[in-house]
Chains A and B, each alone.
Chain A
Amino acid sequence: MQKLIISNTPHIKSKSSTKRIMIDVLIALVPATVMGVVYFGLYALLLVALSILSCIASEVIYLLIRGEKFKDILNKFDFTSAVTGLLLGLNLPANCPWYIPLLGGVFAVIVVKMLFGGTGKNFVNPAIAARVFLLISFAEAMTTWAVPSVGAIKTSTVATGATALGSVIKGERVISNLDLFLGTGVSSGALGETCKIALIVGYVYLLIRKVVDYKPLIYIGVTGLMTVVLQGSFSAFLPSVLSGGLMLGAIFMATDYVTTPNTTVGNIVYFVALGLLTALLRHLKGTEVVSYCILLMNFFVPLIDRFIVPKPFGYQKPKKEAKNG
């Protein structure tokens, strides 16, 4: 008989692990990445690859400087930085300069994640923070959107155009809902956010794997309904839901475990607030605000968790008890 293993209860554990969850998110993002490359060409793939590389390299180099052994880093690697990298890549315009993802990756992982304590300790979503950082630093490059075209993968030139969102919301430019849904036509945007059907496929995968639940739908639904209220027209629902980075943000960025509340009630508050905020700011500013809204709401998560704490099972208000007893 070999030596007995000693450990605390429980003596059986579920199969889920942080690594497995992150790999699931990566798999769920594959359709969106593929469609991004189909619509915007191979340069888009290069941008995504650079972004992932930058994130992983940043984490490894940071840990090496901290004096950890390369073997340990490899053993502990949990793919969170790969997810950050992929999400950041999908949030870029398809024709931005190559150094933008590199810089964004370093900012996301070093400044937002590692300096605050690594996995699980980042106070905002690293990919969102990096995108906002890049938007402020490279305002022009980050807002010059490529127009998707299925032939882009063959031709190397990509046309550019203004993001459709502002005009869609105001009802000026008419893009059919189908175009918005498929990401075809002139519905330009970040390289991972245009093809909604790919994002939905990813969402269904995450639902099956139980990584996320129904909550992104709250965000999307509330945004749509609020837009309807603000514009006083039901026809505004679908365009507002299908345009911009809402779906990518709602499904993959707002649901980041680290930066969402820990309770069911807290989560509902968080996602409803996100939806209201997004619709309102979109209406006021006439431009895409999903990243800013998620960033803003991330700051409120500790507050939500502080005040929304579930009562223990069987808890009764002391007042009631005094009356009964």
Chain B
Amino acid sequence: MISEKRATFPGGVHVPDNKYLAEKKPIEIMPAPEKVYVSLSQHIGKPSEATVSVGDRVKKGQLIGKEAGFISANVYSGVSGTVTEIKTISTPLNTATYVVIQNDGLEEEEFLPPIDKEDSQAIMQRVRDAGLVGLGGAGFPTYVKMATDEKIDVVLINGAECEPYLTCDHRMMLEHGDGVVKGAKYIAKALNCQTVIIGIEENKPDAIEKLGAYDGVKVVPLKKKYPQGSEKQLIYACTKRAVQPGKLPASKGVCVFNVQTAFQVYEAVEFNRPLYQRVMTVTGKGIKEPKNLLVRNGTPYAEIIAYCGGLTDNAAKVIAGGPMMGKILTSVDGYTRKTDSGLLVEDVTEVCITEPSPCINCGRCAKACPMHLMPMYIDLYTQTGNFERADSYGATNCFECGTCAYVCPAKRDLVGSVQLCKRKLRELRS
């Protein structure tokens, strides 16, 4: 069922999406690399503990990192082979313990045991065992999100994909729509909830049509606006419920899952496959052949770039994720994680290198802010060291979507100010 009205939220900004680069490219399976470097810290929460040691032989789908505490997640091997090293590696993104596995190319599999698909407790446990985390980018353990005491009456699947350039969720809905819908229904069953809503931005009409044809789910076409895929904004657009600052969506009876998370739930429940691979978009004008790739967890970025034809001569910026919230990479010496939705290479025509100039108080940032904060004052008071005052304008309510910095005519680093303010406040308040 497709809802007729286009839904949206107050605030936000129209950003050119540049999705044409990879939109029409079907998902391609990237051959497993010679060596995978699997991080034991690729989710929010405690890093998992290695369950293998150097020299052990592992199979595809075998547990290599066990969750350490409630907010943590299991980590699985994406290849079969031998563990050659377990060591701490510093990548441009983080410093963590990595399990390095030499791929023997045999692709021997060892998946989880089958479960009763009708049992909600069993599905819940499977989500936990399979090491599922939010695949939209945050990486919050899915099980923890589902283990809420609140009554959930809406399972919301996030197919907005409002980040420009990224197309992996779009391709996922087109090519594996069946799995996405089934996964969403398993989640709903586990949560004992009747309503499944899928929010999709209107720039993906084919996906809206495809998923709208399934029974038992309601597709809500969303206005194309950034940040439409942000949790609270999406909930408001689809259900008109406004989650209070500092509260979880569950407080309003809603749980939000990315389309890829839903698909992985389907894989884990139907095929007992744990999370060791995902689809990511490799795009940007700085890459020769933009692609949507199914990659194993721990694949080196450099090999992905090489597989996509390499960088162009004008490549200027490499980003893990989308252009609005993605993390900048100082080099390509990184390894894919569960949360990597994209690898974006901007060329010189796409980057903005204008120096920041003084704020002219135009108020565009406040007008565009989806959280209704006042970024200009957060910036002003953070730069002058008055962090408490900066917080009175909402610094801690900011989720760093970058809308303010995008619209700023003075090109001020508003997101940087918010990050600094949050860090200083944590120091002050601890």
Say whether A and B bind each other.
yes
List residues of A whose CB falls within 8 A of some B CB. Answer: 1-2, 4-14, 16-18, 20-21, 76, 78, 80, 117-121, 257-264, 267, 309-316, 321
Q: B406 near A14 (CB under 8 angstroms)?
A: yes
Nearest residue, chain B, Cβ from A261:
B363
CB under 8 Å from chain A, chain B span 259-277: none
- Find out whether the CB atom of A258 lies under 8 angstroms from the CB atom of B331: no
B357 touching A76 by the CB < 8 A rule? yes
CA separation between A121 and B245, bound complex, in Å?
A: 32
- Chain A hits for B376, CB < 8 A: 262
Known contacts A9-B324, A11-B328, A12-B15: A313-B371 contact under CB 8 Å:
yes
> Complex formed: what's the CA distance from A11 to B397 in Å?
22
The one of A4, A9, A121, A258 that contacts B405, using a Cβ cutoff of 8 Å: A9
- Check if B328 sits within 8 Å of A119, measured CB to CB: no
When the two chains form their complex, are residues A6 and B324 in contact, meaning their CB atoms are under 8 A apart?
Answer: no
**B232 engages A4 (CB within 8 Å):** no
For the complex of A and B, the 10 pairs showing the least CB-CB separation, nearest first, are A10-B402, A314-B242, A13-B352, A262-B363, A120-B358, A257-B362, A11-B323, A16-B409, A120-B360, A10-B324
Chain B hits for A8, CB < 8 A: 328, 405, 413, 415-416, 419
* Contact A313:B319 (CB < 8 A) given known A9-B400, A120-B359, A258-B360: no
- Residue B282 CB within 8 A of the other chain: no
Structural contact, B316 and A6, CB atoms closer than 8 A:
no
A78 proximity list for chain B (CB < 8 A) = 357
* CB neighbours of B346 from chain A (8 A): 11-12
Tell me the nearest residue of chain A to B402, going by C-beta: A10
Q: A4-B317, A78-B357, A314-B236 are in contact. List 14 more A-B contacts (CB 8 A).
A: A7-B317, A8-B415, A9-B415, A10-B415, A18-B410, A120-B361, A260-B361, A262-B377, A313-B11, A313-B245, A314-B243, A314-B247, A315-B372, A316-B244
With beta carbons under 8 angstroms apart, the residue of B9, B327, B374 that contacts A263 is: B374
B366 touches A13 (CB 8 A): no
- In the bound assembly, the distance between CA atoms of A6 and B331 in angstroms comes to 10
The listed residue (A258, A313, A315, A321) touching B361 by CB distance below 8 A is A258
**Contact present for A9 and B325 (CB under 8 Å):** yes
- Chain B residues within 8 Å of A316, by CB: 244
A14 to B354, CA, bound (A): 11
Task: Give which listed residue, A4, A17, A309, contacts B331 with CB less than 8 A.
Answer: A4
Q: Does B45 contact A (CB under 8 A)?
A: no
Interface centre among A14, A259, A260, A267 (most CB of B within 10 A): A14
Q: CA separation between A6 and B164, bound complex, in Å?
A: 19
Asked whether B326 lies within 8 Å of A310 as measured between CB atoms, the reply is no
Judge whether A312 and B328 touch: CB under 8 Å: no
Name the contact of B372 in the complex, choosing from A10, A119, A310 (C-beta under 8 A).
A310
Q: In the complex the two chains form, is B344's CB within 8 Å of A257's CB?
A: no
Contact between chains at B329 and A4 (CB < 8 Å): yes
The listed residue (A4, A76, A321) touching B316 by CB distance below 8 A is: A4
**When the two chains form their complex, are residues A20 and B409 in contact, meaning their CB atoms are under 8 A apart?**
yes
Residues of A within 8 A of B409 (CB): 14, 16-18, 20-21
Chain B proximity of A297: nearest CB distance (Å): 15
CB-nearest residue of chain A to B405: A10
How many angstroms between the C-alpha atoms of A313 and B316 in the bound complex?
Answer: 36
A7 (CB) vs chain B CBs: closest residue: B328
Instruction: List chain A residues, Cβ under 8 A from B132.
Output: none
Within B287-322, the residues touching A (CB, 8 Å) are 311, 313-319
Taking a contact as CB atoms under 8 Å apart, the answer to whether B244 and A315 are in contact is yes
Q: Which residues of B contact A118 (CB under 8 A)?
A: 358
Q: Is B360 within 8 A of A257, CB to CB?
A: yes
Is B253 located at the chain interface by the 8 A CB criterion? Answer: no
Distance (Å) between the CB of A102 and the closest chain B CB?
Answer: 26
Interface centre among A117, A120, A121 (most CB of B within 10 A): A120
Please tell me if the beta carbons of B374 and A309 are within 8 angstroms of each other in the complex: yes
Q: B393-430 CB contact bits vs A (8 Å, 1 = yes)?
A: 11001001010011111110101100100000000000
CA distance A267 to B400 in the complex (A): 26
Q: How far is the CA of A5 from the CA of B345 in the complex (A)?
A: 11
Q: Is the CB of B360 within 8 A of A119?
A: yes
Bound-state CA distance A261–B376 (Å) is 12
A312 touches B394 (CB 8 A): yes
B107 interface residue, CB < 8 Å from A? no
Residues on the A chain within 8 Å of B394, using CB: 312
A and B contact pairs by CB, cutoff 8 A, 13 listed: A1-B313, A2-B313, A4-B315, A5-B351, A10-B415, A11-B326, A14-B409, A258-B360, A263-B366, A312-B371, A313-B397, A314-B242, A316-B244
**B194 near A: Cβ within 8 Å?**
no
Q: Given that A5-B317, A313-B232 are known contacts, is A13 also in contact with B245, CB under 8 Å in the complex?
A: no
Q: Does B330 contact A (CB under 8 A)?
A: yes
B329-385 residues with Cβ-Cβ distance < 8 A to A are 329-331, 344, 346, 350-354, 357-363, 366-367, 370-374, 376-377
A313 and B232 CA atoms in complex are apart in Å by: 9
Q: Bound state CA distance, A8 and B415, in angstroms? A: 8
A10 close to B358 (CB less than 8 A)? no
Task: Write the nearest CB–CB distance from B391 to chain A, whole angstroms.
Answer: 11
B406 contacts across to A, CB distance below 8 A: 10, 12-14
Within the complex, what minimum Cβ distance (angstroms) separates A268 from chain B? 12
B317 pairs with A11, CB closer than 8 A: yes
A257 with B361: CB separation less than 8 A: yes
Residues of B within 8 Å of A5, CB to CB, are 316-317, 351, 353
A315 to B246, CA, bound (A): 10
**When chains A and B are docked, how far (Å) is the Cα of A314 from the Cα of B236?**
9
- Chain A residues with CB under 8 A of B374: 262-263, 309-310
User: In the docked arrangement, what's the CA distance between A7 and B415, Å?
Assistant: 11
Q: How far is the CA of A112 from the CA of B393 in the complex (A)?
A: 28
A12 near B357: Cβ-Cβ < 8 Å: no
Chain A residues with CB below 8 A from B402, complex form: 9-10
With A4-B316, A9-B325, A21-B409 as known contacts, state yes or no: A312 contacts B358, CB within 8 Å: no
Q: Is the CB of A262 within 8 A of B415?
A: no
Least CB distance, B312 to chain A, in whole angstroms: 9
Interface residues of B in 1-42 (CB under 8 A from A): 9-11, 13, 15-16
